[in-house]
Structure 1
Amino acid sequence: MAEPLHHQLDRDYITKQLEQLLGIPSPSGFCMAIMKHLGEELARLGFKLEATPKGNGIVTIPGQAPGKVIGISSHVDTLGAMVRSIKPNGMLRMTPIGGYAMHTIEGEYCLIHTRDGRQYEGTVLSTKASVHVYPDARDWKREEANMEIRIDELVKSKEDTEKLGIAVGDFISWEPRTRILSNGWVKSRHLDDKASVAAVLGLLEQLKRSGQTPAHTVKLIFSTYEEVGHGSSHIPEDITELLAVDMGAIGDDLSATERDVSICAKDSTGPYDYLMTSRLIELAKREQLPYAVDIYPHYGSDASAALRGGGNIRAALLGPGVHASHGMERTHMDAIVNTAALLIAYVQDSEEG
């Protein structure tokens, strides 16, 4: 009997890559460092990462059968912010990058990245940060205009902050607070979508180690603008089906857990391809991988971006279940490893559908 696919994967390798990815700041549009890391790791595995003009990366893996090219997309970019203005008292007003609720970042540590390469630490606070000072601090609405960043430098004026080299348009990244526990739980910001990127790297490591060749040519897309809606809006023209690997949401009437592979049947852009989705379900059943099929009405992916961008493709979506998405997220290594196992089954599958 063949060894189960999830046992063929190097769990320690996936865990190590996940931890490294989470430690590299990469808000949408500021992904140079993480793409450099990714390129170096892929080269070490024997794969070449080709950069697109917008900053995405593509790895091509020739398949056994010519004539069909499948795409697998995951995104390295995360939520973050940008300096909107410098206040007269030296504090920073920010503008968000990506869609998150302001209360999820209140009190968070951050880095301000200047365009000349300097970094400064700071903290995200309400403009009424102390209940000892402001009687309405508890009720003060957490929205962009009522939030600010306190810089951990001696600044008392706009001029003081400008002397540090901080300017409008500088990127701001959040402290990820990554904890990978011995029992398999992973809690961190930015598991959306670095957990999926780690799963894709696990797929590549297994292919390299086993010497296996995919059934069809595979083009892996690592996108850098997914959180702002256009990550994989343009994909290579020879791709006929695109599988987005992105986190699965948890809560309300959804059935996925943090240990499941989530297969999304429909999101805010409409239903995903019926045959592709059905085949993913069949493969998950065949490999005895815990999975759930769900519908995400407030969600979009790289696959939906490709469809909106005019791609004449079939598209589907799967990924590890992640709790508290766009907040203090949590998943389990089982979900990440099983996502990689389902990707192996998918790229080895010679059947259509």
Structure 2
Amino acid sequence: MNKPFAAASAAIASAPMRIDVDYMLDFLKRLIEIPSPTGYTDQAVHFCGRELERLGVPFELTRRGAIRATLKGAGPGPARAMVSHLDTLGAMVKQLKDNGRLALVPIGTWSARFAEGARCTIFTDQGSYRGTILPLKASGHTFNEEVDTQPVDWTNVEMRVDAFSYRVEDLRRLGFNVGDFVAVDPNPEFSPRGYLNSRHLDDKAGVAVMIAAMKAMADAGRKPTVDTFMLFTIAEEIGVGASSVLHGDIAEMVTIDNGTVAPGQASRESGVTICMADSAGPFDYHLTRRLIELCEANDIRYERDAFRYYRSDSASALEAGNDLRTALICFGVDSSHGYERTHVNALRSLAELSCLYLQSDVLFGRDVKPLGPLAGFPRQESESADPASEMVEDTILPG
């Protein structure tokens, strides 16, 4: 791992704060069990709101339920934000089928391969039912090798409801309708070795990290350097995310979400993954390097990575017209948007980095205003790091 910031400034260097890991994991377990596919997030919002009240953190909600909690800063300066999202992947009923089963469309972007065999809850206007998502050809005794050759696609799966429903009339009688939400069981398993296996770690693990960081700050009697807004969005999986919970006073925002552990990626299930760019483009040069500096000054293991087929709350914030510096820090997740796995060390490291960031100096005082003069505007490194290469260039150019 490269270490370009071996000597961090004293203004941002301090020992990582103690994170109550047991509290963080208990909160995560309870949050994961609350169904919250995008569009059906009210219960998760109430759960997080009650925890913020217990921690003594003031907050307010948008009309649809995104949470903006406020940590008052120790001094003046440009405001900051950290953000994670409460909503998860899921599905919705598209059609009541003649065979008494339900056709589905996905909520968020995920493969029907990971839906096959999933146990679920379907929320109707009259109440909830249990069911299973199955491929259309689910029985090897009937379809033989065709169970292995049918295409993987949402048009090739259906919901089998745990009720006497064998015709479309049965479904109507039971109260099923197009548009009913389907929440997929998370099936969490937290092992003694620290591995966390579950659906919906994206991004409920990020929410748990932010809550644990706030608790650590409160337990230590610390305040962030400047006013900081802790944001919990409710529509990230459909691309809306942080588009409507920000306000103009925020100059920089750090997103916490999952990093993809896969061949060709640098993300790991331990330590911190700092994303340099995703499908929406590069993250802010200066804010990203500040987070790297904090990791190196405080011996927090990290990796840099870039994601090709990925976007986060940062993208939706910028696309909504917010002019702010953004960065993305991640817990590495294997099998993202499937049956996911990470390690508790990644969550602990992220919570430690979050506390360090909250207590670090603001990047640029001039960012307190959306517009300003050239004076005080930063520069990016532009000269060669190797003096010898400059000498070669100087020799070649005159010729």
Q: TM-score range by the shorter chain?
A: over 0.9
SS of match in other structure, 2:303:
strand
Structure 2 residue 138 is matched with structure 1 residue 133: no
Q: Deviations over 1:170-190 (max 9, x none)?
A: 100101010111111100000
Distance 1:246 1:3 in 2: 24
Structure 2 residue 339 is matched with structure 1 residue 324: no
Cα drift, residue 149 of structure 1: 0.4
Distance 2:20 2:234 in 1: 26
Cα drift, residue 207 of structure 1: 1.5
Distance 2:242 2:207 in 1: 15
Distance 2:163 2:170 in 1: 9
Distance 2:74 2:14 in 1: 22
- Pick one of 279, 284, 287 that aligns with 2:295: 284
- Pick one of 180, 188, 198 that aligns with 1:188: 198
SS of match in other structure, 1:216:
coil
Distance 1:345 1:253 in 2: 30
Structure 2 residue 326 is matched with structure 1 residue 315: yes
Structure 2 residue 214 is matched with structure 1 residue 201: no
Counterpart in the other structure of 2:90: 80
Amino acid across the alignment from 1:127: L
Distance 2:149 2:93 in 1: 25
Structure 2 residue 83 is matched with structure 1 residue 69: no
Amino acid across the alignment from 2:102: L
Amino acid across the alignment from 1:31: T
Counterpart in the other structure of 1:252: 263
Structure with the greater alpha carbon radius of gyration? 2
Contact 1:267 1:296 in 2 (8 A): yes
CA RMSD of aligned residues (A): 1.3
Contact 1:39 1:48 in 2 (8 A): no
Structure 2 residue 188 is matched with structure 1 residue 178: yes
Task: List structure 1 segments (4+ residues) > 2 angstroms apart after TM superposition.
Answer: none
Distance 1:95 1:142 in 2: 13
Counterpart in the other structure of 1:265: 276
Greater CA deviation, 341-350 or 59-68?
A: 59-68
Percent identity at matched positions?
A: 37
* Aligned pairs for 1:95-244 within 5 A: 95-116=105-126, 118-135=127-144, 136-234=146-244, 235-244=246-255
Q: Deviations over 1:133-170 (max 9, x none)?
A: 12422110121111100001111111211222221111
Counterpart in the other structure of 2:312: 301
Q: Under a length normalisation based on structure 1, what TM-score does the superposition of the two structures give?
A: 0.97
- Pick one of 16, 20, 23 that aligns with 1:13: 23
Cα drift, residue 128 of structure 1: 0.9
Distance 2:123 2:56 in 1: 32
Contact 1:321 1:331 in 2 (8 A): yes
Contact 2:38 2:235 in 1 (8 A): yes
Is there any run of 5+ residues in structure 2 with no aligned partner, and where? 1-12, 365-399
Size of the aligned set, in residue pairs, is 350
Contact 1:91 1:148 in 2 (8 A): yes
Distance 1:59 1:174 in 2: 28
Contact 1:248 1:261 in 2 (8 A): no
Distance 1:163 1:337 in 2: 49
- Pick one of 319, 326, 344 that aligns with 2:355: 344
Contact 1:82 1:170 in 2 (8 A): yes
Cα drift, residue 351 of structure 1: 4.3
Counterpart in the other structure of 1:40: 50
Counterpart in the other structure of 1:49: 59
Cα drift, residue 209 of structure 1: 1.2
Q: Under a length normalisation based on structure 2, what TM-score does the superposition of the two structures give?
A: 0.86
SS of match in other structure, 2:31:
helix
Amino acid across the alignment from 1:44: R
